[in-house]
Structure 1
Amino acid sequence: MRLPFPSPKLTKNRFIFPDMAESNDDDLQPSSTHEITATQTHDGDRSILQDEDHRNDNLKDRYIGAIDQGTTSSRFIIFDCTGVPVASYQTEFRQIHEHSGWHEHDPLELVDSVYTCIEEAMKTFLALGHSKCEIEAIGITSQRETTLVWDWQTGEPLHNAIAWPDTRTKQLVRELKEQPGAEELLNICGIPLSTYPSSVTLVWMLRNCPEVQRAYEEGRLAFGTVDSWLLWNLNGGPDGNRLVTDVTNASRTMFMNLHTLQYDDRLLDFFQIDRSKIRLPKIVPSSDPDEFGRVSNGPLEGVRITSCLGDQSAALVGHCAFTPGSAKNTYGTGCFLLYNVGETPVISKHGLLATVGFQLGRKRKPVYALEGSVAVAGSGVSFLMNNMGFFRDSRKVSEVAATVPDNGGCVFVTAFSGLFAPYWIDDAKGTIFGITQHTQRGHIARATMEAACFQTKAILDAMEMDSGHKLTELAVDGGMSNSDICMQSQSDIIQIPVERPAMHETTALGAAIAAGFAIDVWKEFDELKHMNRANRTTFTPKISKPQSAKMYKKWSKAVEMSRGWLDVDEMDSESA
């Protein structure tokens, strides 16, 4: 096994512009290298975010680190406790696509990337005159559902990490849906059977990977999502022996009962998982002063890790969406809309997922959310850049879209991996309708961004039906939210205001906030009412409701026309 503090070898280092920073993935990040490692602000800027009358302690002189491990890159950001990023570093890692529909990561590269970010961000932090002892805690947020297996005794990974967009399990999902008890799963764990959850991926590994099978039969197999793998390694691997996850990540596996917040034997039995043969991470709240351990090596050796959340839950916390009825949408590789439903889970009847939003301490009840997931958001922009050559820098998508006044009648159903919530159509393929001889690149660029906006509209409609309440505004973050054209289109399509914070690193901020709750930097949600509220941009609808409804009707027609593009034999060959 590699040492827990490896030297970077396989990743390409890259810094981020503060105005393009995002909270999940970097699909709208610059394609070249930009050396900006610190976000420095004047005291006047900080005072906007800090309510000195409300808090007597000097929050701008207290610091929390946040590891944000996403689908395409990792970053480490050090925030002061007013929510201002002081130093940061981001690096990409390889995306492995050996077959159509497959998406993997090298588990050791994930760990390397995190340590690289910590080391480089700490260089900046120290250069600014700070010291390690000023960092009071670290929070972790990571991509969800991505599945890892390793040898419990040696810590060696037994297979590449299979990432959440991977669709190799399509045929297995159809098989599992025919099993007795399949219809009962949703009410227990809140998630329908699909290629999405970690449980199905683990079953595929056990059936198709001899080394994984052997470790399972010999009782050496450890299973976890990215958070568990990172925590295992940050704590020293087999020496630290810390296998843990939080309720938000565990709720994405289909192994956890949404009501008890513990593993459920009915779920494990359905997937034929024998508890005596596999090491499952201990499930704990998202904030805790002790459960997540300490960094075992490197420039932050000995610093406590006090929070752990799935990235979309972290973004919900980062937006301070603590009250029922509040919601956020993250436009990263995919698009993820979470709606706070309070302390009782709501099992969707309209194609959404029920999940744990967050649990910020053992003394607090868990807060649940409804979630809608769009498979393609920023990755659609990457498709235009990398596959179609529309531009060389993904940030140029808005410039290309601005060359035309509208989509010119084009509708792009970006079903690269089928369609997720609320449709759950796995036999759809990406299809563009309405092309004429007058169609230009700008029309396609607009249609690509609008695809995520239309699917967000479908999710919001489903959430309204499930919850009985209509959302009054939508908070946004992620790479594609940096596009004014995209966010104006979003507001036009959903006919409510869209709010974009000036500081876009909302996911990492959520991990930092959760870490702060564990060590009593904050004790009540009300103390965060001014966090990241300054200089927000609000987009309001500029078209009429009938115009918006006409656009959405055409989108819905396109979705129906994309259905059934693949037959069963083609789907099986893609999964092989």
Structure 2
Amino acid sequence: MPHLLALDQGTSSSRSIVFDAEGRIVALAQRELRQHYPRPGWVEHDPQQIWQDQLDTAREAISRAGLRPADIHAVGIANQRETTLIWERASGRPIHPAIVWQDRRTQPDCEALAAAGLAEAVRARTGLVIDPYFSATKIRWLLERVPGAREAANRGELAFGTVDSWLLWQLTGGAHLTDVSNASRTMLWNLERGEWDGELLAALDIPRSLLPEVRPSSGGFGRTRAGLLGAELPIGGVAGDQQAALFGQACIAPGLAKNTYGTGCFLLMHTGSRPQRSRNGLLSTAAASCGDTPAYALEGSVFVGGAVVQWLRDGLKAIQGSAEVEALAQSVPDAGGVVFVPAFTGLGAPYWQPEARGAIVGLTRGTTVAHVARAALESIAFQSAALLRAMSRDAVDAGGTPVRELRVDGGACVNDLLMQFQADLLGIPVLRPRCIETTALGAARLAGLASGVYRDLDELAGQWRAERVFEPAMDRDRAAALMDDWERAVRQAVAP
């Protein structure tokens, strides 16, 4: 049976997973990725640690699988998106730490771009909003703040990439490539024309020579260079982590949606071969593509999802380990009127309030740490429900139907209390797949399509199976009242 290797480089860890052709995990290796916070609102990663950890886990996963390197049919890459790196073409040396997608240092630059009247052009051309979340202002910050960077870029001596491009450069020995899903997250990619947008590049003063070549997500990205993995393996799939998860969940037809519960939460709905514009605060983005046919999705991003549990552990010291949160939350029947808005770094879609900050409302003398823990868990579901409501309105506006089911993945989806509350709020079934490692699985399957392991998309769709279905059990009036409470709390979090 053919085997596929997925490199899953995320915000908090670098992992490698070996899958068999039926999507079963054969072996997994993981390294935690250190976060650097040089100033309030700044988040950085060490590019060399990203590369070394990813290489080490790849070697370890192949070894744990009991396979020879030559037994790996192809390699796929899924990566944290928007995180921005620039390196020297001649030496491969990064000119600065990677600026992570969560980083907010370019907020003043974004405000200046909006004041200059670029907001509508950015939305119309890229499907995005002007926000520090995306790569474009990070690139400009590096060019303007790193000594000599602007001049070197103008001479064609530097290369920009998101994490996929950085890994491809290292794996292949110098291929400067990305895929369409990652390109669409830079705020520089024209969705309609399928190319880097010259006017936006000019507006931000970013040289086109800095940017990688863009290819479909499933296809040829070169081979791993000799000496890295024991064999020169073909790299056949690349996608940003959320688009990879959408593909891994077999959401490959319009109207199918998934939500990934990780550090943040990312809700995507496939919209077909044409980009769909949102009227409800969502983003239009490229989905993972196979061949010449483009694919698109609507996306909503929650900046703080599972990270709220990390805050309970590391900040509040309410729990010793993240796994304890479900039992603590279940020790009370409900949140006792407490609503937790975890806007630690602002609020993403559908609110787009970068100045919002965290708020816990509804506290009384009877409030316990268990109520706060339950409210923290529920905040993940509330934010996701707000996204899905916006997404369903967009679907209806476009002549479609509301989302009828939600497929879920990511580390926090194993929390049954959270998944049941999510189904109760949404009023639709929440489906948890047998394999929740759908980000890595999507990357592996993109590589498998390119290398002939799979015949077509229908074969992949036929392999998807649910492990559990959470049916809504809450009265709809009660669910609506809870959402009203959430929206009131959000207004308090964004109030000056």
TM-score by length of 1: 0.84
Q: Which of 284, 301, 323 is 1:373 aligned to?
A: 301
Query: Structure 2: how far apart are the matches of 1:274 and 1:124?
Result: 44
2:412 pairs with 1:475? no
Distance change in 2, residues 1:292/1:177 (3 Å): farther
Q: Which of 321, 330, 338 is 2:268 aligned to?
A: 338
Q: Could you say which residue in structure 1 is the equivalent of 2:332?
A: 404
Following TM superposition, by how much is the alpha carbon of 1:106 offset from its aligned partner in structure 2, in angstroms?
0.3
2:353 pairs with 1:425? yes
The superposition leaves residues 379-433 of structure 1 with CA deviations (integer Å, 9 ceiling, x where unpaired) of 1000000011111110111011011011110000110011000000112110000
2:310 pairs with 1:353? no
2:99 pairs with 1:162? yes
The superposition leaves residues 493-521 of structure 1 with CA deviations (integer Å, 9 ceiling, x where unpaired) of 11111011122111100001100110122
- In structure 2, give the amino acid aligned to 1:517: L
Q: Which of 29, 49, 55 is 1:89 aligned to?
A: 29
Query: Structure 2: how far apart are the matches of 1:430 and 1:149?
Result: 32
Q: Could you say which residue in structure 1 is the equivalent of 2:431?
A: 499
Q: Could you say which residue in structure 2 is the equivalent of 1:455?
A: 383
Query: Structure 2: how far apart are the matches of 1:173 and 1:301?
Result: 45
- Trace 1:104-119 onto structure 2 (pairs within 5 A): 104-119=44-59
Give SS of 1:245's match.
strand
2:15 pairs with 1:75? yes
- In structure 1, give the amino acid aligned to 2:49: E
Query: Structure 2: how far apart are the matches of 1:502 and 1:207?
Result: 47
- The answer on whether the counterparts of 2:339 and 2:379 sit within 8 Å (CA) in structure 1 is yes
- In structure 1, give the amino acid aligned to 2:470: F
- In structure 2, give the amino acid aligned to 1:497: P
2:465 pairs with 1:533? yes
2:311 pairs with 1:383? yes
2:157 pairs with 1:247? no
- Trace 1:27-46 onto structure 2 (pairs within 5 A): none
Query: Structure 2: how far apart are the matches of 1:557 and 1:564?
Result: 11
Query: Structure 2: how far apart are the matches of 1:185 and 1:485?
Result: 39
2:377 pairs with 1:440? no
Query: Structure 2: how far apart are the matches of 1:431 and 1:509?
Result: 36
Out of 159-168 and 524-533, give the one that drifted further: 524-533
Following TM superposition, by how much is the alpha carbon of 1:532 offset from its aligned partner in structure 2, in angstroms?
4.0
Query: Structure 2: how far apart are the matches of 1:235 and 1:156?
Result: 15
Q: Which of 438, 444, 450 is 1:518 aligned to?
A: 450
Q: Could you say which residue in structure 2 is the equivalent of 1:268?
A: 201
Following TM superposition, by how much is the alpha carbon of 1:300 offset from its aligned partner in structure 2, in angstroms?
4.0
Following TM superposition, by how much is the alpha carbon of 1:67 offset from its aligned partner in structure 2, in angstroms?
0.4
Larger RCO of the pair (alpha carbons < 8 Å, separation 6+): 1
Q: Could you say which residue in structure 2 is the equivalent of 1:32?
A: none
Following TM superposition, by how much is the alpha carbon of 1:291 offset from its aligned partner in structure 2, in angstroms?
3.0
Q: Across the two proteins, how many residue pairs are aligned to each other?
A: 492
Query: Structure 1: how far apart are the matches of 2:182 and 2:129?
Result: 16
Q: Which of 454, 465, 475 is 2:393 aligned to?
A: 465
Give SS of 1:542's match.
coil
- In structure 2, give the amino acid aligned to 1:171: P
- The answer on whether the counterparts of 2:244 and 2:439 sit within 8 Å (CA) in structure 1 is yes
The superposition leaves residues 320-369 of structure 1 with CA deviations (integer Å, 9 ceiling, x where unpaired) of 1111100000000000000001111011121111001111223xx11100
- The answer on whether the counterparts of 2:221 and 2:234 sit within 8 Å (CA) in structure 1 is no
Q: Could you say which residue in structure 2 is the equivalent of 1:36?
A: none
Q: Could you say which residue in structure 2 is the equivalent of 1:40?
A: none
- The answer on whether the counterparts of 2:223 and 2:232 sit within 8 Å (CA) in structure 1 is no
The superposition leaves residues 151-185 of structure 1 with CA deviations (integer Å, 9 ceiling, x where unpaired) of 11111000000000011111111111011443211
Give SS of 1:210's match.
coil
Give SS of 1:101's match.
coil
- The answer on whether the counterparts of 1:242 and 1:293 sit within 8 Å (CA) in structure 2 is no
- In structure 2, give the amino acid aligned to 1:108: Q
2:253 pairs with 1:320? no
Following TM superposition, by how much is the alpha carbon of 1:228 offset from its aligned partner in structure 2, in angstroms?
0.2
- The answer on whether the counterparts of 1:64 and 1:138 sit within 8 Å (CA) in structure 2 is yes
Q: Which of 25, 34, 40 is 1:100 aligned to?
A: 40
Give SS of 1:503's match.
coil
Distance change in 2, residues 1:193/1:348 (3 Å): same
- In structure 2, give the amino acid aligned to 1:274: P
- Trace 1:76-225 onto structure 2 (pairs within 5 A): 76-126=16-66, 130-225=67-162
Following TM superposition, by how much is the alpha carbon of 1:453 offset from its aligned partner in structure 2, in angstroms?
1.0
Q: Could you say which residue in structure 2 is the equivalent of 1:50?
A: none
- The answer on whether the counterparts of 1:295 and 1:305 sit within 8 Å (CA) in structure 2 is no
- The answer on whether the counterparts of 2:70 and 2:231 sit within 8 Å (CA) in structure 1 is no
Following TM superposition, by how much is the alpha carbon of 1:264 offset from its aligned partner in structure 2, in angstroms?
1.3
- The answer on whether the counterparts of 1:65 and 1:78 sit within 8 Å (CA) in structure 2 is yes
- In structure 1, give the amino acid aligned to 2:303: A
- In structure 2, give the amino acid aligned to 1:247: V
- In structure 1, give the amino acid aligned to 2:463: M
Query: Structure 1: how far apart are the matches of 2:166 and 2:355?
Result: 33
- Trace 1:279-318 onto structure 2 (pairs within 5 A): 279-288=210-219, 290-318=220-248
Q: Could you say which residue in structure 1 is the equivalent of 2:478?
A: 547
Give SS of 1:529's match.
helix
Identity %: 43
- The answer on whether the counterparts of 1:247 and 1:284 sit within 8 Å (CA) in structure 2 is yes
The superposition leaves residues 516-561 of structure 1 with CA deviations (integer Å, 9 ceiling, x where unpaired) of 1101222222112342415x11111121000000000010011111
- The answer on whether the counterparts of 1:361 and 1:518 sit within 8 Å (CA) in structure 2 is no
- The answer on whether the counterparts of 1:88 and 1:121 sit within 8 Å (CA) in structure 2 is yes
Q: Which runs of 5+ in 1 are unaligned?
A: 1-60, 566-576
- In structure 2, give the amino acid aligned to 1:71: T
Q: Which runs of 5+ in 2 are unaligned?
A: none
Query: Structure 2: how far apart are the matches of 1:246 and 1:300?
Result: 26
Query: Structure 2: how far apart are the matches of 1:90 and 1:331?
Result: 18
- The answer on whether the counterparts of 2:153 and 2:207 sit within 8 Å (CA) in structure 1 is no
- The answer on whether the counterparts of 1:89 and 1:120 sit within 8 Å (CA) in structure 2 is yes
Out of 93-102 and 266-275, give the one that drifted further: 266-275
